[in-house]
Structure 1
Amino acid sequence: MRRSVGLFAWALLGMTAIAGAADAPKGITNLPLIFSDDFESGSSSSWVATDPAAWKIEKTDKGHVLSQFGKSNTKTPVRSPFNRAMIKDVTVSDFVLDVKLQSTIKDYGHRDMCLFFGCQDAAHLYYVHLGKQTDDHANQIFIVNNADRKKISTKTSSGTNWTDDWHHARLTRDVKSGSIKVFFDNMTEPVMEATDTTFAWGQVGVGTFDDTGNFDNVFLFGTKVEPKEVAVADQQAQPVGKKAAPDNTPPEGFTALFNGKDLTGWQGLVKNIKERKSMTAEQIAAEQIKADESAKAHWRAENGVLLFDGKGQSLCSVKDYADFELYCDWKIEPKGDSGIYVRGTPQIQIWDSSAEAQLGNGAEKGSGSLWNNAKNPRFPDVKADNPIGQWNTFFIRMVGDKVTITLNGKTVVNNVTLENYWERDKPCYETGPIELQNHGNTLYFKNIYVRELPKK
């Protein structure tokens, strides 16, 4: 009888690159072995899942395995597999992934398991779908590029021959040529191939589309991109298609709102957007002088970080935005409380989820909430905050009055209406500034990138 011997430990626990002790396969690549896990430790602290409740370490008659025993209660911003467990803190360019896998669901026509790679956030990744039957949506290699999955495979099989036994899969990736090859059981002839250069690096992981399965003896050979070389710290929330670059260097198609050196593009906040609409240009100009003086006194660029000293007012973008995508790295201290206003409207919440004074306000649910919503959902679907003192990454997409928010690679708000806090009887303003809110705490921001979207 199988029994669970440990649930996922999702905190950062100082993992080492080689988590398990199984012997690595020989002679398959010249790339170095950078990660392995045979799960015999009974711990899965080297992995991060979209829904921890759906995964566990399970003991079988052949030893411990990583088991996706349930379906993830997680939403994805676009149609793609949502049952994912990614190798934590390892980002690669070229790689070879070698893994044993076992489908545990009752046999049916769409039985499947998946391998993920080039994963930069919840809406930008590649995946291999090993499906029992083949069509344009199954048993193919796919790209997810801020849109529903798209088939990119140029070769595939008639279907993956799933049984209840263990199988052997291998995935190879060469970034320069764009080559992607998939092997299943027979390691001499690929069952799938594709060529694509959209994502030059990313995270690697395993899972299913909507089934269940076990994984064991995971070996990752590859060229590792060190965290200090990438623009954001979290392993699953990198800017789209961004190659290794210094902080505050925008990915293709985005503009840096913070240049890492000064307050160019930012200004002090004058009242709120509703009040500004009733002011004359002369009144705004006079107030702007005072607001800018306050901003310069309390906001500054320091070592590539936009830092607020806990005094003064919020900071406001000089430019107004309509539909857009925004990346923003942020960090707070204990009891920290902040937020991001979009189109001048509160707010995408940032706070210390353990602060006792805010527990009655929902802080324990985590950051990313549309906290001022009254009729539409206001709290995040999942808590995704990193520990206090560590960097976090928002990806925010706003189209019309709908907002989607990814925090540290997890979708916490999915296409929810942002209400007009200032005028409750009206929809959200069509344009407005991006504001960095403060509540009298020291705050840190960097890697703030924006891409304006065409109006639909």
Structure 2
Amino acid sequence: MKKLNFFTITFLISLLFSCSTQENASDEGSETAETEESSEVASNGGTNGWEVLFDGKSLNGWHNYLSDSVSGWYVENGILITDGGNNDIVSDQEYENFELDFEWSISEKGNSGVFFYVVEDEKYPVTYATAPEYQLIDDENYPIELKPVQHTASNYDLMVADEATINPPGSFNQSKIIVDHGKVEHWLNGTKVVSYELGSDDWNELVKDSKFATMEGYAAVHKGRIGLQDHGDKVMFKSIKIKVL
């Protein structure tokens, strides 16, 4: 009996030690998985208040303007692409005060833009009827002569982008739009190139002298959807994220 008790106790101690070791390994594996998951989220920008608007895998969170789904736009190698002729897409959510970061690449002779405060309503047939635009375009090769207010990073048709340094068609550029209680900044490749205040006297004068003068709903609200323009040319986007201010 004494020998049996001795071996029994020895077996139980070994069993407890084995379970403890497996539990520690499991905990370490769990911590590693959590760390890897946190690193992946961080690399996608989904931390510190940032929300990923394009996950590099799907079109979740977007739909064609005045539609319930996305048609024509697609994802390839982590990049959001339209080859042209597929209509604008807008975010499912609306935003008021925010910082929007994104990377983009335009095709040669191409034209596109990023909108904010898009009001999605059938009485407005196009996104730009209501939404200010951050212009994206091939400044050098566009087939029609451009006015300065139509160049890349400009507040389209209203304000010129100063000191804009643009990478050539086919290369990616980094852009940022900051909107904070009506005050707006456009950034391009690390440089602030435009700033303005929605609804200010200066803003209203600019609108009066622009193509938007007769558009009743243009910049009339300070909350709306984010829009990506399909102007008929190939354009690519990636690393789209937003932080609510």
The TM-score with structure 1 as length reference comes to: 0.37
Q: Which structure has the larger Rg? A: 2
* Residue 88 of structure 2 corresponds to residue 314 of structure 1: yes
Shift in Å at residue 438 of structure 1? 1.6
Q: Does 1:432 align with 2:217?
A: no
Match for residue 106 of structure 2 among 320, 323, 332: 332
Query: 2:170 and 2:73 mapped to 1: Cα distance?
Result: 19
Superposed CA offset, 1:360-410 (max 9, x none): 3337x741111133xxxx111122211211110111101233210110011
Match of 2:185 in 1: 404
2:193 aligned counterpart, secondary structure? strand
Partner of 1:367: 152
Q: 1:427 to 1:387 in 2, by over 3 A?
A: closer
| 8 Å CA contact retained: 1:369, 1:379 | yes
Question: Where does the alignment leave 5 or more consecutive residues of structure 1 unmatched?
Answer: 1-242, 271-287
AA in 1 matched with 2:190? G
Instruction: Evaluate the alpha carbon distance shift between residue 244 and residue 426 of structure 1 in structure 2; reply closer, same or farther with a 3 A threshold.
Output: closer
The alignment status of 1:252 with 2:48, answered yes or no, reads yes
Structure 2: distance between partners of 1:386 and 1:246 = 26
Q: 2:195 matched to 1:414?
A: yes
Q: Does 1:323 align with 2:97?
A: yes
Rounded Cα–Cα distance in structure 1 between residues aligned with 2:46 and 2:117: 21
Residue 353 of structure 1 aligns with which residue? 139
Map Cα deviations across residues 147-199 of structure 1 (whole Å, 9 max, x no partner).
xxxxxxxxxxxxxxxxxxxxxxxxxxxxxxxxxxxxxxxxxxxxxxxxxxxxx
- The alignment's C-alpha RMSD in Å is 2.6
With over 3 angstroms needed to count, the CA separation of the structure-2 counterparts of 1:401 and 1:428, relative to structure 1, is farther
SS in 1 for 2:177: strand
- Contact 1:380 1:412 (C-alpha < 8 Å) held by counterparts: yes
Contact 1:353 1:359 in 2 (8 A): no
Shift of 1:428: 3.6
Relative to structure 1, is the Cα distance of residues 262 and 409 closer, same or farther in structure 2, using a 3 angstrom cutoff? same
Q: In the aligned structure 2, how far is the partner of 1:385 from the partner of 1:311?
A: 25
Map of 1:268 onto structure 2: 64
Residue 359 of structure 1 aligns to a residue whose secondary structure is coil
More helix by share: 2
Q: Which runs of 4+ in 1 moved over 3 A?
A: 243-251, 415-428
The 8 Å contact of residues 366 and 383 in structure 1, kept in 2 or not, is answered as no
Shift of 1:252: 2.5
Kindly indicate whether residue 173 of structure 2 is the aligned counterpart of residue 381 of structure 1.
no
**Aligned partner of residue 132 in structure 2, secondary structure:** strand
Look up the equivalent residue of 1:331 and give its one-letter code: S
Long gaps (5+) in structure 2: 1-38, 119-130
Give me the whole-angstrom Cα distance separating, in 1, the residues matched to 2:113 and 2:79.
Answer: 17
TM-score for the superposition, normalised by structure 2 = 0.67
1:410 and 1:251, CA in 2 relative to 1: closer, same or farther beyond 3 A?
farther
Match of 2:235 in 1: 443
Aligned partners of 1:366 and 1:382 also within 8 Å: no
Shift of 1:302: 1.1
Question: Structure 2 CA distance, aligned partners of 1:447 and 1:250?
Answer: 11
Q: Which amino acid aligns with 2:241?
A: Y
Q: Is the CA contact 1:248–1:258 (under 8 Å) kept in the aligned structure 2?
A: no
Distance 1:250 1:268 in 2: 24
Percent of pairs identical after alignment? 29
**Do the aligned partners of 2:139 and 2:146 also contact (CA within 8 Å) in 1?**
no
State the match for 1:135 in structure 2: none
Change (3 A) 1:249 1:304: farther
> In the alignment, what sits opposite 2:79?
305
CA deviations on 1:90-121 (whole Å, 9 max, x unpaired) are xxxxxxxxxxxxxxxxxxxxxxxxxxxxxxxx
Which amino acid is the alignment partner of residue 441 of structure 1? D
Whether 2:244 is the aligned partner of 1:452: answer yes
Structure 2 Cα separation of the partners of residues 425 and 318 of structure 1:
20
* Distance in 1, Cα, partners of 2:88 & 2:142: 24
Kindly indicate whether the alpha-carbon contact (under 8 Å) linking 1:306 and 1:444 is maintained by their aligned counterparts in 2.
Answer: yes
Aligned residues: 184
